[in-house]
């Protein structure tokens, strides 16, 4: 199976893992000639191009879209219309109109659309999902997720201070998919309404935001993302699920401990009256029989899911509608932020 890659920073990392799991990288594209040349040195047999449209008729089975965060939908629609399977980085779309066009394109295409949301498949998410699915927590009532970076003000400005770069031009709420997608996946629910709050100084460009989201099953979801001091030097992702009978949440710690999950089930909810509290450590994820770097697990899972979609017509791990729904939380959140944090309805794209 031959795939192409558009955007060669994050995309190059994905290309390297794609090759390791047996996908052939047949074409690479970046509008930056230096970045393209550096990637070409790693994949010398791949067709190299500065224009993504040249990949449309390059005989590819699939394409990974890893260009600017707010510019994925146009490319995804074009490749889907050529029958090329798409794996798109977060976000899926930058507006409701674009999201609906993307859904229509995915549903009329003979190819599939998959969302490359690796945070859904990180080791701690896997353990929390197993806990929820086992029923030990009872009915889920509230879920929370953080995606936070503890960078200095100078480093933060270096990342989001340039309005010419996508990191500087997107709304402060937009990069919510690493928190919202896991929460939608854990609950199986859809987002209905969001209120967005700025954290700290920064005027209309706060470095962090809190999103309070009402889900379709009544669950309350809380998501925080951005830049806040004090966060452990871990993998920037934390998740918590409270059920009627207990709690499962990842350990807020440095290093590998942050992939572990603390589970507490209340004695008053158990037939034997015993409260149980334990810390669970995720099993290793193996590629070719060898454990891989924990931080890479989610990306590898996403790529293996993409390969299965191309090779055997497997259902995408995260298909187009939940991808668009998560992205539209960021769009509606931006509206809420502009409206002084009032609640804003999120378009229903569930059917
Ligand atoms: N899932 C994750 O863990 C993760 C991590 C990093 C980045 N990302 C996502 O990957 C995407 C890219 O992020 P990045 O950090 O690599 O950004 P970046 O801006 O550093 O790199 C993007 C690259 O794409 C190229 N590009 C942009 N538009 C193009 C176009 N139309 N045609 C050809 N090349 C084009 C740029 O020249 C650049 O080299 C974003 O959507 C980001 O959110 C995801």
Tell the residue nearest (CA) to atom 14 of ligand 1.
10
Q: What is the mean pLDDT of the chain?
A: 96
135 and 263 housed in the same domain: yes
Q: Is residue 11 in a domain? A: yes
Does 115 contact ligand 1 (Cβ within 6 A)?
Answer: no
Domain of residue 244: give its range.
Answer: 121-290+328-345
- Contacts of residues 253-259 at CB distance under 8 Å and 24 or more positions apart, as own/partner, are 256/294, 258/124, 258/232, 258/234, 259/122, 259/123, 259/124, 259/235, 259/294
Determine the residue of 33, 39, 56, 68 to mutate for testing ligand 1's pocket, defined as the one with the most ligand atoms within 8 A of the Cβ atom. 68
- Residue 113 sits in a domain of what CATH number? 3.40.50.720
Protein residue with least CA distance to atom 24, ligand 1: 7
* Pair 233, 151 in one domain: yes
What is the 3-class SS of the chain, one letter each residue? CEEEEECCCHHHHHHHHHHHCCCEEEEEECCCHHHHHHHHHHCCCCEEECCHHHHCCCCCCEEEECCCCCCHHHHHHHHHHCCCEEEECCCCCCCHHHHHHHHHHHHHCCCCEEECCHHHHCHHHHHHHHHHHHCCCCCEEEEEEEEEECCCHHHHHHHHCCCCCHHHHCCCCCCCHHHHHHHHHHHCCCEEEEEEEEECCCCCCCCEEEEEEEECCCCEEEEEEEECCCCCCCCCEEEEEEECCEEEEECCCCHHHHHCEEEEECHHHCCCCCCEEEEECCCCCEECCEECCHHHHHHHHHHHHHHHHHHHCCCCCCCHHHHHHHHHHHHHHHHHHHCCCCCEECCCCCC
Residues 132 and 239 in one domain: yes
How far is Cα of residue 299 from the mean position of the Cα atoms in its chain?
10
For residues 19 and 94, state if they share a domain.
yes
Same domain, yes or no: 251 and 234: yes
Are 81 and 215 found together in one domain? no
Low-confidence stretches of the chain (pLDDT beneath 70): 233-234
CATH code, domain carrying 151: 3.30.360.10
Which of 4, 5, 8, 9 to mutate for ligand 1's pocket (most ligand atoms within 8 Å of CB)?
A: 9
Residue 203 lies in a domain: yes
The per-residue pLDDT for 202 is 77
Do both 96 and 205 map to the same domain? Answer: no
29 CB within 6 A, ligand 1: yes
**pLDDT of res. 220:** 98
Do 248 and 310 have their domain in common?
A: no
In terms of domains, do 114 and 125 share one? no
What is the token pair recorded at 65?
């879209």
The answer on 233 and 169 residing in a single domain is: yes
12 and 113 fall within a common domain: yes
| Residue at 61 is within a domain | yes
Asked if residue 48 has a cis previous peptide bond (ω within 30° of 0), the answer is no
For residues 114 and 87, is the Cβ–Cβ distance under 8 A? yes
- Give pLDDT, residue 146: 97
For 118, phi and psi rounded to 5 degrees? -65, -25
- Please tell me whether residues 15 and 86 are part of one structural domain: yes
> Counting atoms of ligand 1 from 1, which one is nearest the CA of 67?
24
Considering the domain boundaries, does residue 28 fall inside one?
A: yes
Residue 234 pLDDT: 60
CB of 87 within 6 A of ligand 1: the answer is no
Instruction: Report yes or no on 193 lying in a domain.
Output: yes
Q: How far is CA 308 from the centre of its chain?
A: 19
Q: For 243-246, which contacts have Cβ atoms below 8 Å and span 24 or more sequence positions?
A: 243/132, 243/136, 243/137, 243/138, 243/139, 243/140, 243/141, 244/137, 244/138, 244/139, 244/141, 244/269, 245/136, 245/137, 245/138, 245/269, 245/270, 246/136, 246/137, 246/138
- Residue 42: inside a domain, yes or no? yes
Domain contains 350: no
Domain total in the chain: 2
Give a yes or no: residue 47 inside a domain. Answer: yes
């Amino acid at each position: 199976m031959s795939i192409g890659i558009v955007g060669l920073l994050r995309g190059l990392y994905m290309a390297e893992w794609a090759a390791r799991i047996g996908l052939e990288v047949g074409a690479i594209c970046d509008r930056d000639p230096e970045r393209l040349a550096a990637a070409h040195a790693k994949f010398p047999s791949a067709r190299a191009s500065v224009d993504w449209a040249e990949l449309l008729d390059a005989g590819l089975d699939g394409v990974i879209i890893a260009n600017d965060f707010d510019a994925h939908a146009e490319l995804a629609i074009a490749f889907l219309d050529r029958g090329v399977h798409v794996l798109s980085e977060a976000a899926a779309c930058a507006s409701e109109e674009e999201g609906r066009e993307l859904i229509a394109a995915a549903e009329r295409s003979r190819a599939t659309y998959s969302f490359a949301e690796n945070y859904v498949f990180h080791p701690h998410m896997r353990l929390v999902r197993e806990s929820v699915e086992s029923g030990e927590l009872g009915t889920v009532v509230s879920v929370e997720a953080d995606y936070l970076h503890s960078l200095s003000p100078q480093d933060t400005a270096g990342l989001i201070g340039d309005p010419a770069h996508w990191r500087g031009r997107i709304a402060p709420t937009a990069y919510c998919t690493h928190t919202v997608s896991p929460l939608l996946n854990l609950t199986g629910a859809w987002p209905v309404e969001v209120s967005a709050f700025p954290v700290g100084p920064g005027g209309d460009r706060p470095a962090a935001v809190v999103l309070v989201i009402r889900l379709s099953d009544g669950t309350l979801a809380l998501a925080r993302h951005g830049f806040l001091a004090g966060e452990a030097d871990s993998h920037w992702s934390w998740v918590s699920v409270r059920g009627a009978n207990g709690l499962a949440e990842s350990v807020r710690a440095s290093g590998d401990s942050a992939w572990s999950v603390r589970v507490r089930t209340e004695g008053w909810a158990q037939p034997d009256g015993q409260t149980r509290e334990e810390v669970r450590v995720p099993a290793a994820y193996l590629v070719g029989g060898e454990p891989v770097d924990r931080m890479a697990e989610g990306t590898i899972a996403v790529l293996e899911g993409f390969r299965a979609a191309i090779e055997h017509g497997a259902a995408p791990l995260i298909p187009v509608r939940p991808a668009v729904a998560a992205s539209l939380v960021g769009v509606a959140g931006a509206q809420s932020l502009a409206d002084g944090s009032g609640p804003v309805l999120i378009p229903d794209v569930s059917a």
